[in-house]
Structure 1
Amino acid sequence: MAITKIHAVKVRLGDAINYIENPDKTDGQELISGYNTAPQTAVLDFSITAAMARKARNTSAKKQGNLAYHLIQSFSPDDAVTPELAHKLGRKLAMEFTDGKFEFVVATHINKDSIHNHIIINAVSFYDYKKLRTVPYRTAQQIRSISDRLCMESQLSVIKNPQQLGQLYPTYIQKKRTTSNRTEVRKKLNFCLERATNYAQFLQMAQELGISVCQRGKHMTYLPEGAGRAIRDTSLADTDKFTYTGLMERLEDNAAEQLFIRERIAKIFPSVSTFTDFIKQLQSEGVKARVKKQTGQLLYKAADLDGTWVPADALGDGFALAGLESAIKSKSGILDTNHSTSIAELYQDLTTNYPKSCDTSVRLTSRQICSAGKRGVLLQIHDSSGNPAKLMIDNSHIHTTPDGSVSADIGAAFSYDITYDDGTRGTIRGTDLIRQIDEENLTQPLSVSLTANQIMAMSLRGVTVHLPQYHIERLFIPERYVQRNVEQGSCAISLYPGWQYSYVPIGSEKTRKSISGAELAQSLGGVVQVGTSESSLARRVTNVERRAGIANAKELGKILSGMADSGLHFAADFDKQINTYHRKEMNLRNRIADLHAKNKTYAAVAHSLQVCKTYKSVWMAYVSQPQPYKETYYKENEAVLQTYSRAASQLDGMGISLGTEPEKVRQLVTETEGRIADLIAELEKVRKSNRAIQEDKEKVEQIQGS
């Protein structure tokens, strides 16, 4: 397997590229290649893209931030990897990580025992002029996951027996209980960085959240309240986000973004009549707004500045949801800029406490495991629409149980990156992944009988459980996991031990929480014998079953009528329609992928046209030079002339006139993006129709069976 690292390049980009292109380390530069750039002119190409992005977004060079990102992929000496294969894997890694929207240079070094790739990626996209966004640790994990999967697909460091992975369960459990305070420190610092606009304000906010900030030499240190040791800035992120330089850049950006948003809101607010009208007018001014469902928090984003989401409370009480609605209702036209709530109270109210470790262990079988390597396992799974995809599970979350089976610890609340066969990426929720694996492996659920006082409501949709002694106000179990017995007057539910069940807690706090199936079964008291005291429950069961019978008849009639209209006569006939929808999905996915590929070509053409337009005068001056002076002029302007020549050659090879306006091609990129969005919406409709007909098939089979 390969080890991967990434760090930002903030200054001296030329030095970084010269280092990785060293002929002594790259077989005379034979193992160097570029994407949408020539390695020899990459510095100039990167700067041209950044300049075009600044022009498109109307920002200054002072705000450009990172110049590039330097990614290192180092292969194990034990791997049978050739320089050519290593270079190929490096290009695949860069292409997949950037989605082909950023220029990059790949150089494979063979001067050491371990072959390794150096990849320099432009920090700005030539495709849409957006910055390459990185998230501490998550970006590094994403890169590592892509690299591990590519290595395993190339049969590097593959283990024949997956049971050699991980560690024994008791050892793993002990390790799993040990957590670091870095996660909490990072959360608090990010909370401050979403709001602060200057260094003094950031220090004050951090202090209120229990973190002492100190600058020692070139490093920042962060000391959590009650901790004995401070944390260095570079150990909190895989970029320079929490260094002094990174902090100051983010704070400057925050100040500009907040000023921009305030000005736009002040401009439109006098004419706003409703909150919906406010959102609509604000979007026309280049500011997006959305409300987080979990907390009701209002967020703003200055699209033209390519900024991050700014919480409304950072602007003042009047810019939050309640303040806006009050001001609109009173028609005062004035928004309160005061901050009545402390940062500590805001953090308590708005921060979601995610689990610090993967909470559910699921058994893996040959149904899921494609291959196993030293760094983890590659799983074959399906997304929510049934499309096949691959998922890499890190070795730290794989362990062997005492009976010799392989298990994976998965966080129900986590989101996992998946990769489709065509190279595109998606995500799957941990809870969906757990359910999929359990159902594929035919894991047996626990059957738990319910008492009358545990049932809040019973309907054709399912059963709502009420457990006040465990602070559970209501917890819903879908009908497919409910078994009612009319003769015995009983109701039972199937609970999977490893699944997480969402519930509304008792009290003023209405944020949903979760409980595992094993804990829920224990809370319900296990299997309960139904006696005479359950007569009320028996009546409810009988009533629901009677209603279910009527509903089934109506539903069956409705479905049969639809079947007749569609030429479907048996439950098996649904398969034909389902296959048709699958083909439509595949066709739409292919069309979307084709348009994405074409649009990247259009964006590259627009970039080349802009290069030719910018440096045409230099080229014409070179051409017009008398022969004795040509060589001198070329040496003085070598990078520019090479860049122009390469761009012109590419355009000529594609049959595109050098006089074509770049903006016309850029407009084509925008129009194609609109077509892609339409196809994505159509794809979602087809998926919904496919899910609906699959549900109809299940209902027919269930009704026919009963």
Structure 2
Amino acid sequence: MAITKIHAVKVRLGDAINYIENPDKTDGQELISGYNTAPQTAVLDFSVTAAMARKARNTSAKKQGNLAYHLIQSFSPDDAVTPERAHELGRKLAMEFTNGKFEFVVATHINKDSIHNHIIINAVSFYDYKKLRTVPYRTAQQIRSISDQLCMEAQLSIIKDPQQLGQLYPTYVQKKRTTSNRTEVRKKLNFCLERATNYAQFLQMAQELGISVCQRGKHMTYLLDGAGRAIRDTSLADTDKFTYTGLVERLEDSAAEQLFIRERIAKILPNVSTFADFAKLLQSEGVKIRVKKQSGQLLYKAADLDGTWIPADALGDGFTLSGLETSMKSGLEGLDEGHGTPIADLYRELTTEYPQNCDTSVRLTARQICSAGKRGVLLQIQDANGNPAKLMMDNRHIHTTSDGTVTADISAAFSYDITYNDGTHGTISGTDLIRQIDEANLTQPLTVSLTADQIMAMSLRGVTVHLPQYGIERLFISERYVQRNVDQGSCAISLYPGWQYSYVPIGSENTRNSISGAELAQSLGGVVQVDTSESSLARRVANVERRAGIANAQELGKLLGSMADNCLHSAADFDKQINAYRREEMKFRNEIAELRSKSKTYAATAHNLQACRTYKSVWLEYAFKPLAQKDTFYKQNEAALQAYSRAASQLDKMGISLGTEPEKVRQLVAETESRIADLIAELEMVRKTNQAIQEDKEKVEQIQSG
């Protein structure tokens, strides 16, 4: 396996690239390569991309932020990996991490016992001019997961005996308990950064949320009220997000984004009377909106600025849902930019507290495990839509028993990174992962009967349980795990002992706690005999079953009508339609992949055209220099001349004139991206239709078998 690290390059990009390209460490620079750049001209190519991004987004060079990111991938000395193989794995890692949208340089160092790759990635994409966004810890975990999967597929450090898998989970849990203060600090600082627009305001907000901020030398420290020790900025994230430089950059961006959003809202508000019109017009002005389902909180995003989501309360009370509604009804032209609620109260109101330790231990079998290595196991799973994918589970969360049983500890509240067969990435929630593995392994649930006073609500969606004596205000069980018996007037639920069930505790709407299936079954009284005298429960069960029967009859009518329209007479007849839609899905996926490849080529072409335009004057000056002066001039302008030569050579290979306008090629990129978005929407419709047909087939099979 390989160890991975990442950090930002803020200054002296040339020094960083010169270091990784050292001939003494890279076999005379034989182990160096670039993507959409030549290693010798990477600094200039990176700067051209950054300049084009600033021009496209109308920002100044002073706000360029990070110049690049430096990623290190170090292989174990025990791995029989050749320098060439290591270099190939480094390129694959960079390509998967950036999705081929950022320039990078890979250099493989062989001067130490452990072969290692240095990868420098441009902080700005040549593809769409967006910044490389990183998330504390998640970015490092994503890189590590990609690297581990690549190493495992390359058969590096494979463990043949599963007994050698680590048993470090107790240590991991203990460590997790000692770092809860760090989680709370990070959560509160992010809350402040979403709202503040300058450093003084950020400090004031942090203080009101109980965090003392101190700058000592080049580092910042954060002390949470009641905590024994302050936390250093670099330990809160794998990037510079919470350093002074990172804070100032983010605050400047937030100020620009908030000003942009305010101006656009003020422009369109006099012309709208409904929220739907408001959302539509605002999107045409380059601002997206969405509403959080749980809290009803309104968020804005300045798409043209590659911005982050800004909460409405950060702009002022008039920009919230209630404030906008008042302005629309009363015809107010101005919006209230005041903040009536103190930030501490706002934090308590909008923040949902989730439990820190809600990990579930699930048994892994050959159905899930693809391979095992020193760093963990590679799992074969499916995403929420049933698409096959792979997930790298860290060794700290894997342990075995004396009989060879392998189990994984999974956090229900965590989102895990997964990789699809085509190399793209996605996520799966811990809850879905736990349930998928348990159901695939045919784990038997506990069946628990409910009494009338335990049921708060019952519908076709499921049952809401109410257990005030155990501090549970409401806990929802999906219809999939509910069994009703109309004859007996009873209702029972299936609970998996190891699953974590989320609930709202008594007296705290913004807090979510969890309880295991085993504990919940015990709280409900275990497997209870049904008392048919409970007439109220019997009526409720009969009522829901009656509604379910009506719904089923309606669904059956639709199903039979659809079958008649499509000349389908049995479950086997559905296969032809299913296969046809699968071919349609494959057609869309292939077309999307082809267009994405073309779009990247167009973006690279625009970059080369811009490079030729930028350095053309230097090249012409060199061309008209007297022969005696050429050598001196070349040495003084070597990088610029090489950048021009490389870009011109690439364009010549593609048969593109150097006089082509980069802006026209960028327009091709935009048009291609629009077409890709349309195809993705069509693909989703085909996928949903196919899924519905498969569900209809299952219903017909049930009817025929009954």
Bin the TM-score by the shorter chain.
over 0.9
1:103 maps to: 103
The residue number in structure 2 matching 1:33 is: 33
Offset, 1:256: 2.4
Report if the CA contact (8 A) 1:106-1:117 is conserved. Answer: yes
| Residue 487 of structure 1: how far off its partner (Å) | 5.2
Match of 1:495 in 2: 495
Mapped contact 1:198–1:251 kept (Cα < 8 A): yes
Stretch deviating more after TM superposition (99-108 or 343-352): 343-352
Moved more, 279-288 or 171-180: 171-180
1:166 & 1:172 partners in 2: Cα distance? 11
Worse-superposed segment, 208-217 or 298-307: 298-307
* 8 Å Cα contact 1:168/1:400 also seen in 2: no
Work out whether residues 105 and 119 of structure 2, in 8 Å CA contact, stay in contact via their aligned partners in 1: yes
- One-letter code of the match for 1:529? Q
Cα distance change on mapping 1:172 and 1:125 into 2, 3 Å: closer
Q: Percent identity?
A: 85
Aligned-partner Cα distance in 2 for 1:555–1:292: 31
Matches within 5 A, 1:13-162: 13-162=13-162
Q: Which residue identity does 1:73 align to in structure 2?
A: Q
Q: Which residue of 1 aligns with 2:517?
A: 517
CA distance in 2, matches of 1:172, 1:66: 33
1:6 equivalent in structure 2: 6
Give 1:498 shift.
3.0
Q: 1:513 to 1:697 in 2, by over 3 A?
A: farther
- Distance in 1 between the 2:294 and 2:650 partners? 50
Contact 2:212 2:224 (8 Å CA) reproduced: yes
Aligned to 1:645: 645
Aligned to 2:214: 214
Which residue pairs with 1:277 in the alignment? 277
The answer to which of 329-338 and 13-22 deviates more is 329-338
Q: Specify the alignment match of 2:286 in structure 1.
A: 286
Q: How far apart, CA to CA, are the structure 1 residues paired with 2:213 and 2:479?
A: 53
Q: Distance in 2 between matches of 1:676 and 1:512?
A: 39
**Alpha-carbon distance in structure 1 between the residues aligned to 2:466 and 2:604:** 59
Aligned letter for 2:80? A
Where 2:684 maps in the other structure, the secondary structure is helix
| Correspondence 1:658 to 2:658 | yes
- Listed one character per residue, the Cα deviations across residues 387-419 of structure 1 (whole Å, up to 9, x for unaligned) are 211111111221224654111122222211111
1:431 and 2:431 matched: yes
Call closer, same or farther: CA 1:201–1:592 in 2, change over 3 Å. same
Aligned residue-pair number: 706
Query: What is aligned with 1:204?
Result: 204
Show the counterpart of 1:406: 406
How far is the alpha carbon of 1:343 from its aligned partner? Answer: 1.4
Give the SS at the match of 1:648.
helix
CA distance in 2, matches of 1:518, 1:487: 28
- Say if 2:400 and 2:406, in contact at 8 Å, map to a contact too: yes
Classify the secondary structure of the residue corresponding to 1:159: coil
Structure 2 counterpart SS, 1:391: strand
C-alpha displacement of 1:442: 0.6
State how far apart, in whole Å, the 1-side matches of 2:94 and 2:66 are.
18
Deviations 1:243-267 (A, max 9, x none): 2222222222222222332333333
Counterpart AA for 1:46: F
Where 2:180 maps in the other structure, the secondary structure is: coil
Q: Distance in 1 between matches of 2:615 and 2:451?
A: 80
Q: Does the Cα contact within 8 Å between 1:169 and 1:402 map onto a contact in 2?
A: no
Shift of 1:46: 0.3
Structure 1 distance, partners of 2:596, 2:337, is 44
What's the TM-score once normalised by structure 1's chain length? 0.94
Matched, 1:615 2:615: yes
> Does residue 259 of structure 1 match 2:256?
no
Q: Greater shift after overlay, 24-33 or 585-594?
A: 585-594
CA distance in 1, matches of 2:138, 2:486: 52
Give the partner amino acid of 2:311.
Answer: P
Q: Which stretch has the larger CA shift, 460-469 or 671-680?
A: 460-469
SS in 2 for 1:577: helix
- Identify the range of structure 1 (499-508 vs 434-443) with the bigger mean alpha-carbon deviation: 499-508
In structure 2, C-alpha distance between the alignment counterparts of 1:479 and 1:347, rounded to whole Å: 34
Distance in 2 between residues matched to 1:514 and 1:429, nearest whole Å: 15
Tell me, in whole angstroms, the C-alpha distance in 1 between the residues paired with 2:287 and 2:530. Answer: 60
Moved more, 395-404 or 227-236: 395-404
Change in CA separation of 1:383 and 1:351 when aligned onto 2, cut-off 3 Å:
same
Secondary structure of 2:520's counterpart equals helix
Measured in 2, the distance between the counterparts of 1:401 and 1:530 equals 39
SS at match of 1:158: coil
Q: Distance in 1 between matches of 2:89 and 2:199?
A: 42
Partner of 1:559: 559
- Offset of 1:548 from its aligned partner? 5.6
SS at match of 2:418: strand
Counterparts of 2:373 and 2:445 in 1: how far apart (Å)?
Answer: 31
The letter for the 2-side match of 1:50 is A
- The equivalent of 2:568 in structure 1 is 568
Deviation at 1:583, TM superposition (A): 2.9
3-state SS in 2 of match to 1:688: helix
How far, CA to CA, are the matches of 1:150 and 1:321 in structure 2? Answer: 47
Task: Give the drift of 1:123.
Answer: 0.4
Amino acid at match of 2:632: T
Deviation at 1:89, TM superposition (A): 0.5
Instruction: Tell me if structure 2 keeps the 8 A contact 1:556–1:703.
Output: no
Residues 213-253 of structure 1: CA deviation (Å, up to 9, x unaligned)? 11111211111111221111111111122122222222222
Contact 1:552 1:703 in 2 (8 A): no
2:331 paired residue number: 331
- Report the Cα offset of residue 629 of structure 1: 2.1
Equivalent residue of 2:428, what SS? Answer: strand
The one-letter code of the counterpart of 1:40 is: Q
Using a 3 Å threshold, how does the CA distance of structure 1 residues 625 and 413 change in structure 2: closer, same or farther?
A: same
Change (3 A) 1:330 1:552: closer
| Farther off after superposition, 170-179 or 154-163 | 170-179
Cα shift at 1:508: 7.8
Amino acid paired to 1:155? Q
Q: Residues 659, 587 of structure 1: CA spacing in aligned structure 2 closer, same or farther, 3 A cutoff?
A: same
Shift of the alpha carbon at 1:703?
3.5
Q: 1:486 to 1:559 in 2, by over 3 A?
A: same
2:632 corresponding residue in structure 1: 632
C-alpha deviation, 1:30, in angstroms? 0.1
Long gaps (5+) in structure 2 = none
**Ranges in structure 1 where 5+ consecutive residues have no aligned partner:** none
- Match status 1:380 vs 2:386: no
- CA distance in 2 between counterparts of 1:539 and 1:208 reads 52
Query: Equivalent residue for 1:529?
Result: 529
Q: Give the whole-Å Cα distance in 2 for the aligned partners of 1:572 and 1:435.
A: 30
Structure 1 residue 381: Cα displacement: 0.8
User: Which residue does the alignment assign to 1:579?
Assistant: 579
- The alpha carbon displacement at 1:81 in A equals 0.9
Deviation (angstroms), 1:609: 1.2
**What secondary structure, in the 3-state scheme, does the structure 2 residue paired with 1:533 have?**
coil
Work out the CA distance in 2 between the residues paired with 1:65 and 1:173. 37
Q: CA deviation at 1:486?
A: 5.0
Corresponding residue for residue 296 of structure 2: 296
1:316 and 1:267 mapped to 2: Cα distance?
16
SS of the residue corresponding to residue 334 of structure 1 reads coil
CA displacement, residues 456-504 of structure 1 (integer Å, 9 cap, x when unaligned): 5555555454444445555554444333445544332222223344556
Paired with 2:304 and 2:647, the residues of 1 have a C-alpha distance of 28
Deviation larger for 54-63 or 343-352: 343-352
Q: Please, what TM-score do these two structures have when normalized by structure 2? A: 0.94
The CA distance in 2 between the partners of 1:211 and 1:543, in whole Å, is 53
Cα RMSD over matched residues? 2.4
Distance 1:334 1:495, change over 3 A: same
Q: Residues 59 and 305 of structure 1 are in contact (CA less than 8 Å); yes or no, is this contact kept in structure 2?
A: no
Q: Which residue number in structure 2 is paired with residue 362 of structure 1?
A: 362
- 2 CA distance for matches of 1:608 and 1:243? 35
What amino acid is aligned across from residue 221 of structure 2 in structure 1?
T
Supply the distance in 1 between the matched residues of 2:335 and 2:553 (Cα, whole angstroms): 58
Q: Check whether the contact 2:79–2:156 (CA below 8 A) recurs between aligned residues.
A: yes
Contact 2:180 2:356 in 1 (8 A): no
For 1:500 and 1:323, the matched residues in 2 are separated by: 38
Deviation at 1:136, TM superposition (A): 1.3
CA distance in 1: counterparts of 2:280 and 2:338, whole angstroms: 25
Mapped to 2, the partners of 1:97 and 1:73 lie a distance apart of 13
| Conservation of the 8 A alpha-carbon contact between 1:167 and 1:400 | yes
* Partner of residue 595, structure 2: 595
